[in-house]
């Protein structure tokens, strides 16, 4: 049977690209985009769009019934850097939206849920290199706390109520079609726009800050691959570690210089440095690779080439 998918928070950085890929795969009319604000033009015209507050269970349920939705992808959230400014709002949005969607699945209105976690579940006491799937999770940010709690809610609903919920701990996701929404890894997107438009960039993290990252194409493919795999392959119901590349601002700048030799970068670390310092440098994602055959395609050099080629157009 064909799926009908509702994407909550579809107008954000990941949502616009994931929605497009889902529409290509499942048919434009079978993927309902929704958000509290409109998304880019392409998303708005290529298929159905509804204004939905992801914390409002009744409205979500109305849309689920209207379109006979079978799967929900819940992308609405407040991200790490913004959440530090509005901790209570972040907690309310991140937790109440997940509760609403998990309850709708528990009540059997839908069959499957996708909810992204993050490398922010880890904290200063977590091993920084090759961070294992199961390790210390003591985050120092409200965003990280909401992701740890969310992961355990997902696992609880799976164990107690049989809810088929799946999750990935995304690293920093890098894109050029859509701009990021207030995370600590946003510099790795901003740097490309600034390199093309101004030839220079002031980075809010220090030059040696190494963080796990991933190109949007890989993140979108991983998400759909996890959702499409047979349920018996999904052995982890908290959140899968997922990795592709790890690099520092200095390293990405020197990669960009290969294409724009006059490009310059300066460093002015702000409050986001402390968040970055609490996160891993690299991630062990062998369980995702083993359980559902995850493989990344893009490394730092192929990603940089692809982004600059597209942005220059
Ligand atoms: P984003 O901030 O770009 O987009 C979030 C979207 O949610 C926005 O369009 C916003 O308008 C919408 N939204 C906010 N409040 C809402 C509400 N009450 N109801 C409905 N929509 C609402 O975020 P993103 O980067 O696309 O992230 C998507 C998910 O992936 C989030 O759960 C985030 O924590 C996770 N994640 C992202 C990254 C990354 O690098 N982008 C890394 C790790 C995890």
**pTM of the entire structure?**
0.97
Q: Please state the rounded mean pLDDT for residues 202-230.
A: 98
80 CA to centre of ligand 1 in angstroms:
10
- pLDDT tens figures, 180-212: 889 999 999 999 999 999 999 999 999 999 999
Closest CA to ligand 1's atom 28: 75
Mean pLDDT score, 49-58: 98
- pLDDT over 70 at 92, yes or no: yes
Ligand 1 atom at shortest distance from the alpha carbon of 55: 18
Q: Which residue from 59, 77, 205, 212 has its CB within 8 A of the most atoms of ligand 1, so it is best to mutate?
A: 77
pLDDT at 91: 98
Of all protein residues, the one whose alpha carbon is nearest to atom 9 of ligand 1 is: 12
pLDDT at 12 over 60: yes
Mean of pLDDT values over 90-109: 98
Write the CB contacts of 184 (distance below 8 Å, at least 6 apart in sequence). 80, 81, 172, 205, 211, 272, 275, 276, 279
Residue 161 has pLDDT above 60, yes or no: yes
Closest atom of ligand 1 to CA, residue 76 = 7
From 53, 75, 82, mutation site for ligand 1 pocket: most ligand atoms within 8 A of C-beta: 75
The chain-wide mean pLDDT, for the chain, equals 97
CA–centroid distance, 248 to ligand 1, in Å, is: 24
The pLDDT value given to residue 272: 96
Average pLDDT value for residue range 218-234: 98
Of residues 2 and 198, more confidently modeled: 198
Hey, which residues are catalytic here?
143
**pLDDT for the residue numbered 2:** 87
Residue 178's pLDDT band, with cuts at 50, 70 and 90, is: confident
Average pLDDT for residues 89-105, to the nearest whole number? 98
What's the CA gap between 109 and 104, in Å, rounded? Answer: 6
pLDDT of 112-141, one tens digit each? 999 999 999 999 999 999 999 999 999 999
pLDDT beyond 80 at 244: yes
Task: Specify the residue with its C-alpha closest to ligand 1, atom 15.
Answer: 76
Quick check: 204 and 187 in contact, CB under 8 A? yes
Decide if 169 contacts 306 (C-beta within 8 A). no
Going from the Cα of 193 to the center of ligand 1, the distance in angstroms, rounded, reads 20
Give me ligand 1 centre to Cα 35, in Å.
10
Q: Is the pLDDT of residue 1 over 70?
A: no
Main-chain phi, psi angles of 216, to 5 degrees: -55, -40
CA 312 to centroid of ligand 1, rounded, Å: 27
Domains and CATH numbers, the chain: 5-118+136-169 (3.40.50.720)
To test the ligand 1 pocket, which listed residue (8, 79, 245) has its Cβ within 8 A of the most ligand atoms?
Answer: 79
Ligand 1 binding pocket (C-beta < 6 A) is 8-9, 11-15, 35-37, 53-55, 75-77, 79, 93, 116, 118, 170, 172-173, 180-183, 185
- Please write down the HEC assignment for all residues of the chain: CCCCEEEECCCCHHHHHHHHHHHHHHCHHHEEEEECCCCCHHHHHHCCEEECCCCCHHHHHHHHHHHCCCEEEECCCCCHHHHHHCHHHHHHHHHHHHHHHHHHHHCCCCCEEECCEEHHHCCCCCCCCCECCCCCCCCCCHHHHHHHHHHHHHHHHHHHHCCEEECEEECEEECCCCCCCCCCCCHHHHHHHHHHHCCEEEECCCCCCCEEEEEHHHHHHHHHHHHHCCHHHCCCCCCEECCCEEECHHHHHHHHHCCCCCCEEEECCCCHHHHHHCCCCCECCHHHHHHHCCCCCCCHHHHHHHHHHHHHC
Say how many Å lie between the CA of residue 261 and the centre of ligand 1: 34
Q: What's the pLDDT band for 259 if we cut at 50, 70, 90?
A: very high
């Amino acid at each position: 049977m064909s799926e009908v998918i509702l994407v909550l928070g579809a107008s954000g950085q990941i949502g616009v690209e994931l929605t497009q890929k889902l529409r290509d795969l499942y048919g434009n009319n079978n993927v309902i985009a929704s958000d509290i604000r409109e998304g880019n033009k392409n998303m708005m015209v290529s298929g159905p769009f509804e204004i939905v507050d992801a914390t409002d269970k009744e409205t979500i349920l109305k849309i689920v019934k209207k379109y006979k939705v079978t799967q929900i992808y819940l992308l609405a959230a407040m991200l790490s850097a913004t959440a530090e400014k509005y901790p209570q709002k972040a907690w309310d949005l991140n937790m109440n939206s997940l509760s609403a969607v998990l309850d709708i699945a528990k009540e059997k209105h839908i069959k499957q849920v996708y909810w992204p976690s993050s490398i922010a579940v880890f904290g200063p006491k977590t091993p920084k290199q090759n961070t294992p799937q199961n390790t210390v999770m003591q985050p120092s940010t409200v965003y990280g706390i909401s992701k740890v709690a969310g992961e355990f809610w997902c696992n609880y609903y799976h164990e107690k109520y049989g809810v088929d919920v799946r999750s990935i701990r995304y690293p920093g996701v890098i894109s050029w079609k859509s701009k990021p929404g207030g995370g600590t890894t946003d510099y790795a997107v901003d740097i490309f726009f600034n390199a093309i438009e101004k030839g220079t960039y002031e980075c809010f993290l220090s030059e040696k800050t190494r963080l796990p990252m991933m190109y949007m194409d890989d993140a979108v493919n991983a998400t759909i691959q996890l959702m499409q795999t047979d349920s018996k392959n999904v052995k982890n119901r908290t959140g899968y570690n997922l990795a592709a590349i790890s690099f520092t601002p200095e390293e990405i700048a020197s990669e960009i210089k290969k294409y724009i030799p006059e490009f310059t970068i300066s460093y002015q670390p702000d409050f986001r440095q402390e968040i970055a310092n609490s996160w891993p440098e690299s991630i062990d994602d062998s369980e995702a690779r083993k359980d559902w055959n995850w493989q990344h395609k893009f490394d730092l050099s192929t990603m940089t080439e692809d982004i600059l080629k597209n942005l220059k157009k």
